[in-house]
Amino acid sequence: MIDLRLMKDKMLETLRKMKDLKILVVGDVMLDRYIFGRVERISPEAPVPVVEVEREEFRLGGASNVANNLSNLGVKTYLVGVVGADYGQHIIRGLMKSAGIEDLTVEDPQRPTTEKARVVSMSQQLLRIDWEDRRSIGGRVLKELLERLDVDVDGIIVSDYAKGVVCQQLMDRIKEKKVFVSIDPRPVNKHLYFGADLMTPNEKEAKQMGGDKPVETLGWKLKEELGLKTLVITLGAKGMSLFDREYFHFPAKAKQVYDVSGAGDTAVAVLTSAYIATKDWHIACELANLCAGIVVGKLGTTPITLEEVIKEIEEG
């Protein structure tokens, strides 16, 4: 039987140790825009709802949401990625500064800042509009990006949304740093992840990479095929499964699932930082499960906060 008091003490101690870490996040930086309004009529121009805008919010998304989660938990966080020469980059840079994230992003005037705009009414998403360029980076931008990896850190998280930043040259340079490397993957780039210390696909991504098999069979297949030291498959409302020296399943901690946006970002941030701090995968998974359970109870891409994690541990 698990000693709950001991588990709580270990998770709180892990949070304290995480404040001594320095972690670099590399990947696809995004701006998430939320347009909130009310719908009371249908347009006379077409059979579509008319949204009367009440407010607008900007949030860090993609790799920058991973960095935001880390920084909120007290980790010294660096972010390497690409932004456009547009208004979106200024909003992202301002949000990163407010979050205490060390900005190592590179401006590329040939592409827009990746932005996802969501129109929401009565807590229901009506429409999403994306601005993005998925071509692989190269030339000056890639050169600058590789140069900005030259920071002294305890670990690196590669947050891959397949928008062109994560490529073979980038992964080769990351591996040269000889630090702990974790990957939040996209199946299309599967070939780039060989030998990672940790990979954290969700169930759909894992099946796209390894076939439609039971999770336990699938996990061992992917771990061996990609030469991974550790694999964690996140399973949404079913929790997460750990494949290390042995297999272990962690049931979900969510009290209610409201919106899964950003849950994967939170999971990889907490799994990576907690493991580096403790070298204990069970503690890392328990804490990541708890944190993911908090963020899925919120609307949209919302990072975890240290205060709510501590409260959840102490009251849970």
| Six-digit token string for 232 | 């964690």
Is there a contact between 190 and 209 (Cβ–Cβ < 8 Å)? yes
The token pair that represents 156 in the structure block: 């690196």
- Token pair, residue 102, equals 């060390």
**Distance separating the N- and C-terminal Cα atoms of the chain:** 17
Pairing of strands 106-108, 22-27: unpaired
267: buried, middle or exposed (CB in 10 Å: 19+, 13-18, 0-12)? buried
Contact (Cβ atoms closer than 8 angstroms) between residue 222 and residue 228:
yes
Handedness of CA 86, 87, 90, 94 (dihedral sign): negative
Catalytic residue among 152, 197, 265, 280: 265
How many Cβ atoms are within 10 Å of 214's Cβ, its own excluded? 7
Alpha-carbon span 94 to 160, nearest angstrom = 23
Determine whether 150 is an active site residue: no
The two three-digit tokens of residue 293, written as one number = 């359970």
59, 65 in Cβ contact below 8 A?
yes
Q: Which residues are catalytic?
A: 265
